[in-house]
C-alpha cells in the first residue's frame, strides 16, 4: 500500500526557544540539532537569523554540521531578514527559508497597519527574494487560524506563483478546534491541488495542538510543525513525540501515512532538551513524562504483569526508554563499557568528547557509589554543551554561616592565572555569586535559580540551572552539575558567565 510521508518540521530551536527561560547557547543548539537529525526530523528550523548575531552564528554552525535534515531559518517578510536567513544557511546541504506575514484582519489592521493588498505585495516580494537564495521556500500566513479563507487562497495563489513550495497555515494563538482546522486544511489542500505542500503549525493555548495537527493530516496536510516536549510560545506548540506516536500507534486510522522519525530516538531527544533548557515535561505528560509508563494501582500492576497490553498501548522501548533503573556503572567500569552504555543511551561521541566525559565519569564514580542512566545523561550533556571555558572554577570554600555573615572564598582560573577572592552576601549563594562577579568584573543579576536532583539517593547529583543577565544585557542560562549543590551552583553561574562572554556582541537587544 502506498503511504504518504508526513514531513516533520521541528521548531524546538526557534519557536521552542521562545518559551520563557528556554534560551540556549550555540554549543547546546548544535547538540540539539545533531540529535534532531538522528531522530529523523525532515526539516530543522534552526532559528531566526536576523534576531541577533548569536542566532545567526548558531544557524550557520548547524548548517555546516547537519547533513541529512533540511536546515531552515525563519525570516519576516523583510529583505534584510531574508538576506540574513539566506546567508546563515548558505553552507547547508539541504536548505530552506521560511518567511511569514500575518493575514488575519486583526493582525493586518492593528499590528502591521497594512491593507490586504499591501500584505500580498510584501509576501510576494519576500518569496521572490528568498528564491534568489534557495529553491525551497516556505511561506506562513501568520494567524491563518483567524484569517478569512478567501484571503488565504488569494495569498497562497500569489506566493505559489512567486515560488513558494510550502504553504504553512499556523493557528498562531491556538484558538481553533480540530473540526475547524480539518475543514480549513481540506479546503486549502483541495484549492492548491498539489501546487504546494500544505503545512500546519498549531499552538496549544486550548491544549489542542496535537489533536489539531492530527486532524490536519487526515485532511491533507503533508507537513506538521512541532517541538520536542511541546515547548514554544505561551502554552507551547504541538508536541512532536505525541503526533508521531499517535500516527504510529493508530496505524489503523493513519494507514496511509508514515513519518521518517526513528521513534527510538524520542526519549533521548526529550531528555536532551529537558536537560539543556532546565524545563522538565510535566510528570503526566504523554509519551515522555516521568509517569507515562508507571503503573500505580494494584489492579493495573497485576494486569501488566499478566499481559503488558492490558494497560500499555505503546512500549517504553519503542521510544528508546530503557526501563532499567538498576545500577549501571561504577568506578571499576572501563572505557569500553562506558562507551557502550553511552551508545545505548543515544550518545555517539567523538574521541575527544568521549575522553572528557570518561574523565568526569571517573571523578564522579570516586564520590558516588551508584551511577544511573540519568546521571550519565546529565554528565555527558553537561560536558558536550559547555561554552568555551574562559573562567574555570578551581575551588570553593564556604564559611560557617549558621550565626555569622555568609561568606565565600572562590579560586578561579583564567588563562593560566589563578585568582582568589573572598566576599560576603545575604546568603551563601549570594556570597558565592557576588565573589565571582568581583573576580570577573561583570555584574550579574540572578533572574532564575533552579536546583533538582538528577537521580536518587542522598548522594544524588545536583543539577543547577541559573538565568543571569550580566551588565544588564540579555539573560543567559548556565548549568552546573555536582554532588555538592554549592559547587554545582558556582559552576552554573560561571557557565552562564562563559556563555555570556563567548556570545558578547552577538546577543539580542533586551
Ligand atoms: O505561531 C506562528 O504563527 C509562528 C509563525 C512564525 C510560523 O510561529
Ligand atoms: Zn508559532
List the residue whose alpha carbon is closest to atom 5 of ligand 1. 142
Q: For residue 324, is pLDDT > 80? A: no
Q: What percent of the chain is modeled with pLDDT above 90?
A: 74
Task: Name the band, by pLDDT with cuts 50, 70 and 90, for residue 103.
Answer: very high
Task: Name the band, by pLDDT with cuts 50, 70 and 90, for residue 285.
Answer: very high
Which ligand is in closest contact with the Cα of 98?
A: 1
Q: How far is the CA of 200 from the centre of ligand 1 (A)?
A: 10
Q: For residue 403, is pLDDT > 80? A: no
Which of 99, 201, 223, 224 most suits a substitution to test ligand 1, by most atoms within 8 Å of the C-beta?
Answer: 201
Burial of 460 (0-12, 13-18, 19+ CB in 10 A): middle
Which ligand 1 atom minimizes the distance to the CA of 18?
A: 8
Q: How far is the CA of 11 from the centre of ligand 1 (A)?
A: 10
For the stretch 427-480, pLDDT in tens is 999 999 999 999 999 999 999 999 989 888 888 999 999 999 998 888 888 999
Q: How far is the CA of 16 from the centre of ligand 2 (A)?
A: 9
Q: For residue 60, is pLDDT > 90? A: yes
- Which among 488, 493, 432, 441 has a CA at the least distance from the CA of 467? 493
Q: How far is the CA of 170 from the centre of ligand 1 (A)?
A: 6
Which of 11, 12, 15, 198 most suits a substitution to test ligand 1, by most atoms within 8 Å of the C-beta?
Answer: 15
The CATH code for residues 4-277 is 3.20.20.70
List the residue whose alpha carbon is closest to atom 2 of ligand 1. 172
Q: How far is the CA of 15 from the centre of ligand 2 (A)?
A: 6
pTM of the predicted model as reported, rounded to 2 decimal places? 0.90
Q: How far is the CA of 52 from the centre of ligand 1 (A)?
A: 18
Q: For residue 226, is pLDDT > 70? A: yes
pLDDT of residue 110: 97
Q: Which residues contact 8 (CB under 8 A, 6 or more apart)?
A: 40, 41, 42, 43, 223, 224, 226, 240, 243, 244, 259, 260, 261
Chain-centroid distance of CA 457 in Å reads: 29
Whole-number Å distance between alpha carbons of 466 and 490: 10
Which of 100, 166, 225 most suits a substitution to test ligand 1, by most atoms within 8 Å of the C-beta?
Answer: 100
Task: Name the band, by pLDDT with cuts 50, 70 and 90, for residue 487.
Answer: very high
In the chain, count H helices and then E strands.
16, 16
Which ligand is in closest contact with the Cα of 170?
A: 1
- The greatest distance separating any two alpha carbons of the chain, rounded to the nearest whole angstrom, comes to 76
Same fold, 4-277 and 391-503: no
Which ligand 1 atom minimizes the distance to the CA of 225?
A: 7
Which ligand 1 atom minimizes the distance to the CA of 143?
A: 3
Q: What percent of the chain is modeled with pLDDT above 70?
A: 98
Task: Name the band, by pLDDT with cuts 50, 70 and 90, for residue 400.
Answer: low
Task: Name the band, by pLDDT with cuts 50, 70 and 90, for residue 401.
Answer: low
The fold of the 391-503 domain, in CATH, is Double Stranded RNA Binding Domain (3.30.160)
Contact 96, 43 (CB under 8 A): yes
- Which among 225, 130, 226, 149 has a CA at the least distance from the CA of 189? 149
Mean pLDDT lowest among 133-142, 293-302, 395-404, 491-500: 293-302
Q: Spell out the domain ranges in the chain.
A: 4-277, 293-322, 326-384, 391-503
Exposure string of 98-124, with b = 16+ CB inside 10 Å and e = fewer, is: bbbbbbbeebbeeebebebeebbebbb
Which ligand is in closest contact with the Cα of 172?
A: 1
Q: What are phi and psi of 293, to 5 degrees?
A: -125, 20
Task: Name the band, by pLDDT with cuts 50, 70 and 90, for residue 327.
Answer: very low
Q: How far is the CA of 35 from the centre of ligand 1 (A)?
A: 23
Q: How far is the CA of 172 from the centre of ligand 2 (A)?
A: 6
Which ligand 1 atom minimizes the distance to the CA of 173?
A: 1
List own/partner pairs for 312-315 with CB under 8 A and 24 or more apart. Answer: 313/249, 314/245, 314/248, 314/249, 314/287
Average pLDDT of the chain is 92
pLDDT of residue 323: 66
Q: How far is the CA of 290 from the centre of ligand 1 (A)?
A: 29
Listed residues: CB within 5 A of ion ligand 2: 15
Ligand 1 site residues (CB inside 6 A) read 15, 100, 140, 142, 168, 170, 172, 201, 203
For the stretch 10-45, pLDDT in tens is 999 999 988 877 778 888 899 999 999 999 999 999
Amino acid at each position: 500500500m502506498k503511504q504518504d510521508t508526513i514531513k516533520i518540521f521541528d521548531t524546538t530551536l526557534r519557536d521552542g526557544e521562545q518559551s520563557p527561560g528556554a534560551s540556549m547557547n550555540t554549543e547546546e543548539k548544535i547538540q540539539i540539532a545533531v540529535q534532531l537529525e538522528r531522530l529523523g526530523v525532515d526539516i530543522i528550523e534552526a532559528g531566526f537569523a536576523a534576531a541577533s548575531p548569536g542566532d545567526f552564528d548558531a544557524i550557520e554552525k548547524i548548517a555546516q554540521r547537519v547533513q541529512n535534515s533540511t536546515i531552515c531559518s525563519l525570516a519576516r517578510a523583510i529583505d534584510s531578514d531574508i538576506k540574513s536567513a539566506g546567508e546563515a544557511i548558505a553552507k547547508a546541504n539541504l536548505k530552506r527559508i521560511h518567511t511569514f506575514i500575518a493575514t488575519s484582519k486583526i493582525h493586518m489592521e492593528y499590528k502591521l497597519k497594512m491593507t490586504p493588498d499591501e500584505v500580498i505585495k510584501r509576501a510576494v516580494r519576500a518569496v521572490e527574494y528568498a528564491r534568489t537564495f534557495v529553491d525551497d521556500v516556505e511561506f506562513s500566513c501568520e494567524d491563518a487560524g483567524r484569517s478569512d479563507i478567501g484571503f488565504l487562497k488569494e495569498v497562497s495563489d500569489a506566493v505559489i506563483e512567486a515560488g513558494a513550495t510550502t504553504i504553512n497555515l499556523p493557528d498562531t494563538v491556538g484558538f481553533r478546534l480540530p473540526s475547524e482546522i480539518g475543514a480549513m486544511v481540506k479546503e486549502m489542500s483541495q484549492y492548491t491541488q498539489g501546487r504546494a505542500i500544505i503545512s500546519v503549525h498549531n499552538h496549544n493555548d486550548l491544549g489542542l495542538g496535537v489533536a489539531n495537527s492530527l486532524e490536519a493530516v487526515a485532511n491533507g496536510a503533508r507537513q506538521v510543525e512541532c517541538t520536542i516536549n511541546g515547548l514554544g510560545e505561551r502554552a507551547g506548540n504541538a508536541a512532536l513525540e505525541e503526533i508521531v506516536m499517535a500516527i504510529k500507534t493508530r496505524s489503523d486510522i493513519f494507514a496511509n501515512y508514515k513519518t521518517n522519525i526513528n521513534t527510538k530516538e524520542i526519549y533521548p531527544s526529550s531528555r536532551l532538551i529537558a536537560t539543556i533548557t532546565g524545563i522538565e515535561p510535566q510528570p503526566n505528560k504523554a509519551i515522555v513524562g516521568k509517569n507515562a509508563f508507571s503503573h500505580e494501582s494494584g489492579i493495573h500492576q497485576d494486569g501488566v504483569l499478566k499481559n503488558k497490553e492490558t494497560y500499555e498501548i505503546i512500549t517504553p522501548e519503542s521510544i528508546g526508554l530503557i526501563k532499567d533503573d538498576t545500577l549501571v556503572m561504577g568506578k571499576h567500569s572501563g572505557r569500553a563499557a562506558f562507551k557502550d552504555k553511552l551508545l545505548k543511551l543515544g550518545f555517539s561521541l567523538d574521541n575527544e568528547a568521549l575522553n572528557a566525559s570518561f574523565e568526569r565519569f571517573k571523578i564522579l564514580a570516586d564520590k558516588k557509589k551508584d551511577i544511573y542512566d540519568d546521571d550519565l545523561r546529565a554528565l555527558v550533556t553537561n560536558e558536550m554543551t559547555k561554552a568555551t571555558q574562559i573562567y574555570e572554577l578551581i575551588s570553593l570554600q564556604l564559611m560557617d554561616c549558621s550565626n555569622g555573615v555568609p561568606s565565600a572564598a572562590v579560586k578561579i582560573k583564567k588563562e593560566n592565572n589563578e585568582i582568589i577572592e573572598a566576599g560576603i552576601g545575604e546568603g551563601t549563594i549570594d556570597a558565592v555569586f557576588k565573589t565571582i562577579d568581583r573576580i570577573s568584573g561583570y555584574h550579574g543579576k540572578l533572574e532564575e535559580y533552579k536546583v533538582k536532583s538528577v537521580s536518587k539517593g542522598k548522594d544524588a547529583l545536583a543539577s543547577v540551572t541559573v538565568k543571569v543577565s550580566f551588565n544588564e544585557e540579555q539573560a543567559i542560562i548556565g548549568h552546573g552539575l555536582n554532588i555538592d549543590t554549592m559547587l554545582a551552583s558556582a559552576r552554573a553561574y560561571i557557565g552562564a558567565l562563559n556563555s555570556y562572554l563567548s556570545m558578547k556582541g552577538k546577543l539580542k537587544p533586551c
